Amino acid sequence: MHNHIRGDDPLRLVGEKLIKDNVAAMHASLDVNTEETLREAVSVRQRPASDRHRIGASGLVARNFSWKLMKIGINAVSEQDMHALLATVQAMSSDDLLLAISYSGERREINMAAGEALRVGCKILAITGFTRTPYNSRRPTADTIAEEQATRSAAISSTARK
């Protein structure tokens, strides 16, 4: 949707487009996930720590989500640098959660992080697209599905208010 926002759009129209996109993203996520998957994803709130890692186009989404988690008291880290990402994952334990956000799920970096998280016993929650991807096929804690454009637009509209 954010690709449909034009520079000459009146501000009210921009707001309406972003609201519509946010609601569409929430409906799409509810439509494709079972109640069990949603409950498992919500369990992230009960974890002692939450490390979230972002790569590529999902970076803005991860950073925005980490800010929101920190506002409600959940320890959240969003890394972009590959070396920092892997170092952080290697220091994680079975009490931690790797929230892997990638629409394509095909980035080598995020797959390396997911592999390392599994090796150290860390739980994984993947937020990814509708297709089977290398890291959601590893059977992470849950596969929560999001539509790429809508998710990015939601992050942009939220970040723009800061």
Domain ranges of the chain: 11-160
Answer yes or no: are the C-beta atoms of 84 and 93 closer than 8 Å. Answer: no
What are the structure tokens assigned to 91, written together?
Answer: 């220091």
Q: CB 93: neighbour CB atoms within 10 A?
A: 10
Q: Are strands 76-79 and 97-101 parallel, antiparallel or unpaired?
A: unpaired
Q: Which fold has domain 11-160?
A: Rossmann fold (3.40.50)
pLDDT at 37: 80
What average pLDDT does the chain have? 73
For the stretch 27-68, pLDDT in tens is 888 888 888 887 877 776 565 555 555 444 467 778 888 888
